Chain A
Amino acid sequence: MKIIYLDNAATTPTSPEVVKAMAPFWSEKYGNPGSLHAKGFEARAALDKAREIAGNRLNCAASEIIFTGSGTESANLALFGFCRKNRQKGNHIITQRTEHHAVLDSCAALEKEGYSVTYLDVDKHGLVCKEQLERAIRKETILITIMYANNEIGTVQDIRGLAETARKHNVVFHTDACQAGGSLDIDVKNLGVDLMTLNGSKIYGPKGTGLLYVRSGIKIQPVIYGGGQENGLRSGTENVAGVVGFATALELAQKEREKESKRLAALRDYLISKVLKEISRTYLNGHPTQRLPNNASFTILDVEGESMILRLSEKGICASTGSACTSRSLEPSHVLQAIGLPKEVAHGSLRFSLGKGTTKADIDYTVKELKRIVEELRKISPIKINESVMKGR
């Protein structure tokens, strides 16, 4: 059966160019970049080059990039590393409710260490309000952390504006840009951010790779201690193959960004309009225009998400849901609740995230199968949600 992979927000396949770039670093150029001999120098050169490439793509100095093992690790390093180091300046952090758990759970852990956290509400599209952010800033505020683009509903925040507000009040600004690396502007000077998290596995790079941009002059402390790699901020022998692959992926993604984003946005809009038109009682989650070019997230009334994705999977279609039934907690996703969806409809969410390989034919097939599946599941569903709960959406 042909697989139609529409879960690129979960992870992307590693592109052949990336695999090729990584190939020499397993058994041939295997040295430890810390070693003072030919094999070490060879590895060090590759690591330096990768850092240079990443720096160019982010428009920052190579020395401002710390390679890590994942986006989650980068976000942890940004939050714990910065807050612990700057405790004497204040203990207040501002974030918002639809962040990834890498940020939210780090915030919760920091609260236990004595920090105080403000969680900003978002509007029905998932956007943070700049004025509300400004009002939340206190004299003890040391860090604002707001994601660039949401992984579930695709809403893109006005990071420039939010970072500007932070700067105005002398507060350091971190953004989790994991979903943005493939399709949005990641120029840190343009964005005006102080800390930025990215990872490789969402941009056709290898899994187990991430980076944290730390603007020169911003002081953080490590979370992982040991051999002092990555400027003493992330110990552990460098993942040379991974870093090379990540840098290659970043370069490819940013080179193709404009063209590919345009193509994806057109396909996304086609998918959205087709679902909303052909399947009754469906709604778009997230912002109608200010959204990732590859994200289409829906609420489908009277059916449950896990049932939909498992039936889609039987037809070769890979999608994702924010339904409780796929989580550990039996609670529907915090993001869908934050945008105000009542629980009874949040269970019926469905996310398609398009990718390099997605075609119009894939979308046609997906909508055809989805329509049939939703009709079947609605037939055996004893509930009919009153559409008034979706008023204004």
Chain B
Amino acid sequence: MEKSNCGWAYSDIVKEHFLNPRNFVRDEREVAGADGTGMMGSPACGDVMKMWIWVKDGKIIDCKWMTFGCASAIASTSMLSEMAKGLKIEDALRITPKQIAEKLGGLPAIKIHCSVLGDQALRAAVKDYEARKNGKAK
């Protein structure tokens, strides 16, 4: 606890997304009709991210999330949800953790894993969407 050296070592963009996160789920009922969902991380490691996507004509028309974690975890998922919305699925899958961090105006080195987790949660949601779609096709 003596090590509370985080301060606002974060960029203004991280701060803004942490204090005013976009697209988060307030109530699980909001996500009842989602086309895909993915969850990554573990409470023991200190970060858990869950993402929901709505897809129409191969495009992510909406993207929502819930996050347990530090400021950069919350900001990373918030930013990613903004980035993914409106993208074709194949384009959304091209988003890299590095791009998320860049969009946030950089992340401290020790926090890079936050952007990686967000990216993985989105990929898991897409995979779930595809699995559901393929399931229906059969």
User: How far, in Å, is B13 (CB) from chain A's closest CB?
Assistant: 15
B67 contacts A by Cβ under 8 Å:
yes
Q: Considering the chains assembled together, what is the distance between the CA atoms of A342 and B45 in angstroms?
A: 11
Least CB separation from A314: chain B residue? B19
User: How far, in Å, is A219 (CB) from chain B's closest CB?
Assistant: 31
Q: Considering the chains assembled together, what is the distance between the CA atoms of A310 and B111 in angstroms?
A: 15
Chain A window 294-321, contacts with chain B (Cβ cutoff 8 Å), 1 for yes, 0 for no: 0000000011111101110010000011
Are B70 and A380 interface neighbours, CB within 8 A? Answer: no
Indicate whether A381 sits within 8 Å of B46 (C-beta atoms), given known contacts A10-B2, A321-B1.
no
Are B67 and A381 interface neighbours, CB within 8 A? Answer: yes
User: How far, in Å, is B54 (CB) from chain A's closest CB?
Assistant: 18
Q: Which residues of A contact B74 (CB under 8 A)?
A: 307, 380
Are B24 and A380 interface neighbours, CB within 8 A? Answer: yes
Are B66 and A309 interface neighbours, CB within 8 A? Answer: no
Q: Considering the chains assembled together, what is the distance between the CA atoms of A380 and B49 in angstroms?
A: 10
Indicate whether A381 sits within 8 Å of B68 (C-beta atoms), given known contacts A314-B19, A342-B44, A344-B44.
yes
Are A385 and B43 interface neighbours, CB within 8 A? Answer: yes
Q: Which residues of A contact B50 (CB under 8 A)?
A: 382
B129 contacts A by Cβ under 8 Å:
no
Are A383 and B68 interface neighbours, CB within 8 A? Answer: yes
Indicate whether A152 sits within 8 Å of B67 (C-beta atoms), given known contacts A330-B45, A383-B48.
no
Are B6 and A326 interface neighbours, CB within 8 A? Answer: yes
Indicate whether A304 sits within 8 Å of B70 (C-beta atoms), given known contacts A10-B2, A151-B1, A314-B19.
yes
Are A382 and B2 interface neighbours, CB within 8 A? Answer: no
Q: Considering the chains assembled together, what is the distance between the CA atoms of A100 and B45 in angstroms?
A: 23
Q: Considering the chains assembled together, what is the distance between the CA atoms of A330 and B48 in angstroms?
A: 14
Q: Which residues of B contact A304 (CB under 8 A)?
A: 46-47, 68-70, 73
Q: Considering the chains assembled together, what is the distance between the CA atoms of A10 and B4 in angstroms?
A: 9
Total interface residues in chain A, CB < 8 Å: 42
B46 interface neighbour in A152, A335, A347, Cβ under 8 Å:
A347
A332 contacts B by Cβ under 8 Å:
yes
Of A151, A314, A347, which is in contact with the most chain B CB atoms at under 10 Å from its CB?
A: A347
Are B18 and A307 interface neighbours, CB within 8 A? Answer: yes
Chain A window 368-388, contacts with chain B (Cβ cutoff 8 Å), 1 for yes, 0 for no: 000000000001111101000
Are B66 and A328 interface neighbours, CB within 8 A? Answer: no
Least CB separation from A353: chain B residue? B1
User: How far, in Å, is B88 (CB) from chain A's closest CB?
Assistant: 26
Indicate whether A307 sits within 8 Å of B21 (C-beta atoms), given known contacts A320-B4, A351-B1.
no
Least CB separation from B73: chain A residue? A304
Are B1 and A320 interface neighbours, CB within 8 A? Answer: yes
Q: Considering the chains assembled together, what is the distance between the CA atoms of A302 and B46 in angstroms?
A: 10
Least CB separation from A380: chain B residue? B24
For residues 86 through 132 of chain B, which have their beta carbon under 8 Å from a beta carbon of chain A? 110-111, 113
Are A382 and B71 interface neighbours, CB within 8 A? Answer: no
B26 contacts A by Cβ under 8 Å:
yes
User: How far, in Å, is B81 (CB) from chain A's closest CB?
Assistant: 12
Are A328 and B3 interface neighbours, CB within 8 A? Answer: yes
Q: Which residues of A contact B18 (CB under 8 A)?
A: 307, 310
B34 contacts A by Cβ under 8 Å:
no
Are A344 and B43 interface neighbours, CB within 8 A? Answer: yes
User: How far, in Å, is A10 (CB) from chain B's closest CB?
Assistant: 7
Q: Considering the chains assembled together, what is the distance between the CA atoms of A48 and B91 in angstroms?
A: 73
A327 contacts B by Cβ under 8 Å:
yes
Of A100, A324, A325, which is in contact with the most chain B CB atoms at under 10 Å from its CB?
A: A325
Listed from nearest, the 8 A-B pairs whose CB atoms lie closest are A344-B43, A325-B70, A382-B66, A306-B70, A382-B50, A343-B44, A381-B68, A152-B1
Residue numbers of B with Cβ under 8 A of A are 1-6, 8, 18-19, 21, 24-26, 39, 42-50, 65-71, 73-74, 110-111, 113
6 A-B contacts, Cβ less than 8 Å apart? A152-B2, A304-B68, A320-B4, A321-B1, A330-B45, A330-B113
